């Protein structure tokens, strides 16, 4: 995190010019440690970080000092050869991959996907489905069988005759299951055959050619386990809750109609749209939370449940939600506002909390206690509104789309453009009267063995020597040997299919795509000056971070003796203000306060008091005991001058509150451990100051005053 912040600060503060200086056409403003800095470079950085200052002479002078120090530090890093370290190169490559991502996709396609997702989010869809499973890398014959099953299912729900279709499917399936030459199916094959054919015949017999209700068909035929109970009913959903092809079928379908089969990574789906309605939008609620600790004891869990039920009972008796939130909610920021939370839509809150919030029918309705991973909640609906504006949701949508399968559409479009731009050409033979052949690729069908199923295939010398061209891209030809090396390094640990041809074809497709993207990525510096400048910025930022870590940050942390010595010389800077050692007791009633006071007189500890007083109700007493700084507690502040003792009862948020003050703690020095964060930061500042002074002594800096004056005048 520290490094990311440092790089961001560096990026914002010292961005290298996005307009590259042209030799002989740009004046030199200064020379730092033997390196010229042009007016263009400096002014690009200055204007980026001083937009409101304009050409103010004082602002320019101040920024020139900062920029000079930055250049000195980068120069020192280069002299220390930090830019040649393997760790530096690896890290810079990593940042390059990140920075390149926006350039390695089709922005127009991505923008269209964003708009499509937003438009769909304005509407919820209620749908049913029937799933016929089929692996995305299944063999052609298996895909065909799955297709035949789903087409029979579609015919059934549409009321079309299916007896002949089932007979033909039965015949094909038997032939497939006995393709090993035996005349009889194995027991396992027979089970597979019956599981696929019997439900089809049973439905056909039951409905006698009439349309089969979609739910009945789903229960009998769907490979989705939940369909046995819900008839394939998925309820209402919105954009990006389902896989993209399925979502598109649902949103593009008409209410009451059954779609054509839709292929996803799970198999083939039939989708029936039951209803469409305006989206649920956003909701604003208030809540009362009783916190639970993950992994806490059973006793603590029971106490939390008891507490939320007691609060709920008070609500039922007519007490105000807002007042109870202020008194009892463990979510202190919202408690101070009567439990109010900001607006939120779907995917923002824990599912249990979100579902109950959207289920509340009217403003003012309050839920029963609901459990989330954070604890128990009571939820009150305050307001509800529709989906936010597109511009407000665009950033969130972009993030979600990047994790969704639809994001591949932008990449696919980019690859198509790269192929055209760099004249992609495959070595496919076109033979008249026959299908096109690709002998250079098909050769791999025989040289790759079953070891690829487990991801351990290694090319032998014969394969390594294969040199036939597969394709040309730009000015380079990629050969069989290149592809063999790619397969060796990219094969999956466990293949999704045992068909070698399918594996080879999938690997080849990946090889072509990655080659296209790699070529485009290698040319980003030439094609996009802003990318080139950004890479320079990150390069200098990483160098600066590594150097600062060596010279300042880690040095201060590791130099325990130096840190201790610095603390001893400056310890008067690190002081506690006057504090109050006290406990504040919030009691449910006067009688509870009386019991607490009596136990305090008997010198009982807060733990003993809490266990006794809250035995029957967790709402009887809350205790806050610590060293209070001024401004932390209103009651403590009111009695700040009191040296010792117990205050009178006072009412706050319908509770009886009093304070027991043990003593007043005068201002004292913080120990090194107590002030370590501040001391370390100050010590780092001193180390950096000393280091910068040493840089100034050894690094020559000259400024062309005439050029600088011209800048200040706006020339």
Which of 278, 303, 331 is a domain's end point? 278
pLDDT, greater one: 543 or 188? 543
Residue 118 lies in a domain: no
pLDDT reported for residue 232: 96
pLDDT at 441 over 80: yes
Considering the domain architecture, whether residues 149 and 179 belong to the same structural domain is answered as yes
Considering the domain architecture, whether residues 145 and 239 belong to the same structural domain is answered as yes
Residue 218 lies in a domain: yes
3-state secondary structure of 626: strand
Considering the domain architecture, whether residues 590 and 558 belong to the same structural domain is answered as no
pLDDT reported for residue 4: 45
Name the burial class of residue 404, with classes exposed (0-12), middle (13-18) and buried (19+) by CB atoms within 10 angstroms of its CB. middle
Q: How sure is the predictor about 209, in pLDDT bands with cuts at 50, 70 and 90?
A: confident
Considering the domain architecture, whether residues 144 and 247 belong to the same structural domain is answered as yes
Considering the domain architecture, whether residues 145 and 255 belong to the same structural domain is answered as yes
pLDDT at 16 over 80: no
Considering the domain architecture, whether residues 708 and 634 belong to the same structural domain is answered as no
Q: Taking Cα atoms as reference points, which of 68, 415, 358 lies closest to residue 236? A: 358
pLDDT reported for residue 179: 66
Least confident of 132-141, 187-196, 349-358, 415-424: 132-141
Alpha-carbon torsion, ordered 531, 535, 540, 541, to 10 deg? 90
Domains of the chain: total: 5
pLDDT (average), residues 438-465:
93
Residue 620 lies in a domain: yes
pLDDT reported for residue 435: 66
Least confident of 193-202, 519-528, 705-714: 705-714
- Residue 650, domain CATH: 3.10.50
pLDDT reported for residue 497: 77
Pairing of strands 282-291, 267-278: unpaired
pLDDT (average), residues 568-575:
94
Locate 327 and state its tokens: 């008194």
- Residue 159, domain CATH: 3.10.50.40
Considering the domain architecture, whether residues 145 and 216 belong to the same structural domain is answered as yes
Q: State the DSSP string of 312-369.
A: HHHHHTT--HHHHHHHH-S-HHHHTTTTB---B-TTSS-HHHHHHHHH--STT-BPPP
Residue 129 lies in a domain: yes
Query: Which residues, at least 6 apart from 356, have a Cβ–Cβ distance to it below 8 Å?
Result: 367, 370, 377, 379
pLDDT, greater one: 635 or 18? 635
Residue 246 lies in a domain: yes
Residue 406 lies in a domain: no
Residue 417 lies in a domain: no
How far apart CA 248 and CA 239 sit, in angstroms, is 9
pLDDT single digits (tens) 113-153: 999 999 999 999 999 999 999 988 677 788 899 999 999 99
Considering the domain architecture, whether residues 170 and 193 belong to the same structural domain is answered as yes
Q: How sure is the predictor about 190, in pLDDT bands with cuts at 50, 70 and 90?
A: confident
pLDDT at 392 over 80: yes
Domain range holding 680? Answer: 1-79+530-574+675-715
Residue 539 lies in a domain: yes
Pairing of strands 655-665, 650-652: antiparallel
Share of the chain above pLDDT 70, in %: 94
Share of the chain above pLDDT 90, in %: 70
pLDDT (average), residues 471-490:
96
Considering the domain architecture, whether residues 256 and 147 belong to the same structural domain is answered as yes
Q: How sure is the predictor about 5, in pLDDT bands with cuts at 50, 70 and 90?
A: very low
Q: What is the pTM of this model?
A: 0.57
Considering the domain architecture, whether residues 557 and 680 belong to the same structural domain is answered as yes
Considering the domain architecture, whether residues 448 and 484 belong to the same structural domain is answered as yes
Considering the domain architecture, whether residues 264 and 221 belong to the same structural domain is answered as yes
Which of 524, 544, 566 is a domain's end point? 524
Q: How sure is the predictor about 347, in pLDDT bands with cuts at 50, 70 and 90?
A: low
Which of 524, 540, 560 is a domain's end point? 524
Quote the Cα angle for 632-636-638, to 5°. 110
pLDDT reported for residue 135: 83
Q: What mean pLDDT, rounded, does the chain reach?
A: 89
């Amino acid at each position: 995190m520290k490094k990311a912040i440092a790089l961001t600060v560096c990026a914002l503060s010292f961005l290298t010019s996005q307009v590259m200086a042209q030799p002989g056409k740009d004046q030199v403003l200064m020379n730092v440690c033997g390196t010229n800095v042009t007016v263009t470079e400096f002014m690009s950085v200055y204007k980026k970080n001083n937009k409101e200052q304009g050409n103010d002479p004082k602002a320019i002078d101040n920024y020139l000092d900062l920029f000079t120090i930055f250049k000195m530090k980068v120069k020192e890093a280069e002299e220390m050869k930090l830019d040649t370290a393997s760790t530096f190169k690896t890290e810079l490559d990593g940042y390059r991959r990140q920075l390149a991502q926006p350039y390695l996709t089709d922005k127009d396609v991505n923008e269209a996907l964003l708009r499509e997702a937003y438009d769909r989010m304005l509407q919820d869809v209620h749908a049913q489905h029937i799933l016929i499973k089929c692996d995305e890398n299944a063999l052609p014959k298996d895909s065909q069988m799955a297709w035949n099953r789903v087409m029979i299912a579609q015919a059934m729900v549409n009321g079309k005759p299916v007896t002949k279709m089932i007979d033909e499917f039965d015949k094909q399936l038997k032939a497939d299951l006995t393709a090993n030459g035996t005349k009889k199916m194995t027991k396992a094959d027979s089970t597979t055959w019956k599981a696929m054919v019997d439900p089809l015949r049973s439905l056909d017999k039951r409905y006698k050619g009439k349309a089969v209700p979609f739910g009945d068909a789903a229960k009998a035929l769907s490979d989705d386990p939940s369909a046995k109970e819900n008839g394939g009913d998925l309820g209402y959903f919105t954009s990006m809750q389902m896989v993209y092809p399925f979502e598109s079928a649902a949103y593009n379908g008409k209410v009451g109609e059954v779609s054509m089969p839709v292929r996803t990574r799970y198999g083939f789906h039939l989708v029936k749209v039951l209803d469409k309605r305006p989206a649920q939008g956003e909701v604003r609620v208030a809540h009362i939370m009783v916190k639970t600790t993950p992994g806490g004891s059973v006793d603590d869990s029971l106490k939390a449940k008891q507490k939320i039920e007691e609060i709920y009972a008070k609500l039922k008796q007519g007490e105000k939600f807002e007042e109870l939130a202020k008194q009892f909610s463990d979510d202190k920021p919202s408690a101070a506002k009567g439990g109010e939370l900001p607006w939120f839509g779907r995917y923002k809150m824990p599912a249990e909390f979100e579902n109950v919030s959207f289920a509340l029918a009217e403003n003012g309705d309050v839920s029963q206690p609901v459990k989330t991973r954070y604890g128990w909640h009571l939820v009150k609906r305050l307001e509800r509104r529709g989906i936010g504006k597109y511009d407000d949701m665009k950033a969130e949508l972009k993030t979600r789309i990047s994790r969704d399968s639809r994001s591949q559409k932008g990449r696919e479009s980019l690859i198509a453009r790269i192929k055209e731009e760099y004249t992609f050409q495959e070595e496919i033979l076109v033979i008249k009267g026959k299908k096109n052949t690709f002998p250079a690729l098909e050769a791999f069908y025989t040289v790759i063995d079953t070891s690829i199923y487990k991801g351990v295939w290694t090319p032998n010398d014969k394969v390594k020597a294969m040199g036939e061209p597969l394709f040309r891209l730009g000015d380079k030809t990629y050969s069989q040997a290149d592809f063999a090396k790619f397969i060796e390094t990219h094969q999956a640990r466990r293949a999704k299919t045992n068909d070698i041809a399918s594996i080879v074809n999938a690997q080849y497709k990946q090889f072509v795509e990655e080659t296209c993207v790699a070529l485009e990525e290698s040319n980003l510096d030439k094609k996009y000056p802003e990318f080139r400048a950004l890479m320079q910025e990150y390069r200098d930022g990483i160098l600066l971070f590594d150097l600062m870590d060596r010279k300042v940050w880690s040095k201060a942390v590791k130099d325990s003796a130096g840190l201790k010595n610095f603390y001893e010389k400056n310890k008067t800077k690190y002081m506690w203000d006057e504090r109050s050692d006290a406990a504040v007791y919030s009691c449910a009633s006067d009688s509870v306060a009386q019991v607490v006071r009596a136990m305090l007189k008997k010198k009982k500890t807060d733990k003993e008091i809490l266990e006794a007083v809250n035995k029957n109700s967790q709402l009887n007493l809350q205790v806050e005991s610590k060293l209070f700084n001024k401004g932390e507690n209103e009651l403590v502040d009111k009695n700040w001058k009191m040296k010792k003792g117990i205050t009178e009862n006072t009412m706050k948020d319908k509770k009886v509150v009093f304070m027991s003050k043990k003593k007043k703690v005068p201002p004292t020095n913080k120990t090194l451990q107590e002030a370590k964060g501040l001391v370390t930061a100050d010590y780092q500042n001193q180390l950096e100051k000393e280091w910068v002074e040493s840089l100034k002594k050894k690094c020559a800096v000259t400024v062309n005053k005439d050029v600088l004056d011209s800048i200040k005048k706006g020339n």
